[in-house]
Structure 1
């Protein structure tokens, strides 16, 4: 079969003939119809992000496709079924703290690298091998819409995991730190789909902020950041007009700690802060929050990597119901042979509600 291969960090993707995946018990082979291209994929492939990724590799995290073959333990999946391929692969021999690899992207620690030896090859390929539990049934799907479904679900799963971790309840006020970014704008859409009464969206990009207001109307209040921590915090609180129940941070590594802290400290007494961004990842400063403020206000601060196992099923249901409006998103599609161009396009057009996918 054909696949895009990253031979070494900094080299361009090349489309090659690679071995077919070999089906085993507890596994599914999927014919890939659409695979998302992350906005920061180029940073991973050059080595800038320092992700744990064994090379050479077929990259690509997640996909939508149709089941080609199932292992003997599959009781409901059948060839031809449309599925979302969840890239978060968890080891099965430790239920409390399983080793994790993000298929075609990264790994968590040495155990994740060991798991990567078997499940390391990603979705920039004609076919993909995944654990049975990572094949999420989607029901009937128009093949022409596969790219849109792929882009939206794979993008929105990350902030959805953060909102679930923060225990978002209908009627609450959410502040999305990094709302003008790719994942952040997805978080705004998902929070509203989950019933948030109001979403506070801070950022520096005035055009992106105006776009959020046009899309969502009065349920979204935008705030232009100045870079002055205390002033920005006051502006965010004024925009909320009510206690902030939950802060979700999705800022990238280059953002620094100042906007993260300004946003986090808007949360009300007994509020929740969920950290999912990349601050400090590339040898930057670590986030410092005042001990006394945390203690006296009973604030919960939680880190969240990716999402729980049942999140893909629940997010797909939000999309099926229409609560998460797929029509808010624009997708650009590339053939597998143009994988390198797709990666460049995703980097150059990293903007709210803009998606890039590869269609093998």
Structure 2
């Protein structure tokens, strides 16, 4: 089959003919129709992000495709079913604290690397082997809609944060990083889950206005000043009710001061979900005040990705009309042009824009 291969960090992707994936017990082979390209894929492939990924490897996190082959232990999937290839692969021999690898992107610790050695190749290929439980049915779709369904890979990340923070209908949410790709998706997800109001702090006034235009009066934008004492007050005042839940999904380039300001806008007994990349490139820690956390009974969740059941629930939100995939605008590239796709993704990282490879 044809695939885009990262042979070493810092080199362009090589379009090569490689061996087809071999089916094993507890696995599914999917014929890939569309695979999204992360806006920071170029930083991963260059080695700048220092992700745990061992070349040579076929990169690509998740994708949309049709089941091409099944192992005998699959009892519900059928050949030809449309599925989302969930890249969050978990070890099966520790139900309490499983190791995790993000297939085709990164791993967590030595156990994740061991898992990656088997489920290493991602979706920048004509076919992909994944664990049976990672083939998530999405129902029937038109082949031309596969690219837009790649938005699942963006929507599921903040959804995992809100599930961990037990977001309830009618609550008030603050999304720290709302003007970014994942943060803007978080706004859409929070509203689909029934949030009464979503506070969207940021410095990009044009994007803040765009979020309000897209989603209406439940969105409450806040222009940040950079003043660590003033910004929490501005965020609190912008909220029509006390802020029940804060989701931070800021990128690694942001300082901890910005994150801290958003967290400390949460009400007493509120919840915080940390999903961003702050601190990944070094620098000071978050340094939250212990007495404030303790006396206000604030719950802080660290969340990486989302639970296995999240995709099924997310598909339900989409099928019900609560989440509209038409918000997302894909630009598609053939597999032969994978390097152009990576460059395009880096230059066009605006919210609701997607770069997609269509093998």
TM tier, smaller: over 0.9
Partners of 1:147 and 1:259 in 2: CA distance: 34
Partner of 1:85: 85
Partners of 1:341 and 1:153 in 2: CA distance: 22
Please say if 1:174 is aligned against 2:173.
yes
Partner of 2:234: 235
Q: Is the 8 A contact 2:332 2:357 kept in 1?
A: yes
Please say if 1:161 is aligned against 2:140.
no
Aligned-residue offset at 1:99? 1.2
- 1:95-132 deviation per Cα after TM superposition (whole angstroms, max 9, x unaligned): 11111110000001011111111101000000000000
Give ranges in structure 1 of 5+ residues lacking alignment: none
Out of 203-212 and 171-180, give the one that drifted further.
203-212
Partners of 1:284 and 1:322 in 2: CA distance: 42
Partner of 2:340: 341
Partners of 2:311 and 2:23 in 1: CA distance: 23
Out of 329-338 and 120-129, give the one that drifted further.
329-338
Aligned-residue offset at 1:284? 2.0
Partners of 1:134 and 1:298 in 2: CA distance: 36
Task: Count the aligned residue pairs.
Answer: 359
Partner of 2:302: 303
Q: Is the 8 A contact 2:197 2:240 kept in 1?
A: no
Partners of 1:220 and 1:355 in 2: CA distance: 23
Partner of 2:132: 132
Partners of 1:284 and 1:134 in 2: CA distance: 35
Aligned-residue offset at 1:234? 1.1
Partners of 2:273 and 2:88 in 1: CA distance: 19
Partner of 2:30: 30
Partners of 1:142 and 1:94 in 2: CA distance: 38
Superposition CA RMSD, Å? 0.7
Secondary structure in 2 matching 1:309:
coil
Secondary structure in 1 matching 2:32:
strand
Aligned-residue offset at 1:282? 0.6
- 1:272-323 deviation per Cα after TM superposition (whole angstroms, max 9, x unaligned): 0110001111112211111111111000011000000100111111111110
Partners of 2:233 and 2:15 in 1: CA distance: 51
Aligned-residue offset at 1:232? 1.1
Secondary structure in 1 matching 2:230:
helix
Q: Is the 8 A contact 2:42 2:342 kept in 1?
A: yes
Please say if 1:20 is aligned against 2:52.
no
Partner of 2:50: 50
In the TM superposition, structure 1's runs of 4+ consecutive aligned residues that sit over 4 Å from their partners are none
Aligned-residue offset at 1:22? 0.2
1:116-265 → structure 2 map (5 Å cutoff): 116-150=116-150, 152-265=151-264
Partner of 1:323: 322
Secondary structure in 2 matching 1:89:
strand
- 1:16-36 deviation per Cα after TM superposition (whole angstroms, max 9, x unaligned): 011100001100000000001
Partners of 1:168 and 1:41 in 2: CA distance: 30
Partner of 1:350: 349
Partner of 2:106: 106
Aligned-residue offset at 1:352? 1.0
Aligned-residue offset at 1:204? 1.0
Partner of 2:265: 266
Partners of 2:342 and 2:230 in 1: CA distance: 38
Aligned-residue offset at 1:241? 2.4
Partners of 2:78 and 2:301 in 1: CA distance: 39
Give ranges in structure 2 of 5+ residues lacking alignment: none
- 1:111-161 deviation per Cα after TM superposition (whole angstroms, max 9, x unaligned): 1111111101000000000000000111111111100011x1111110000
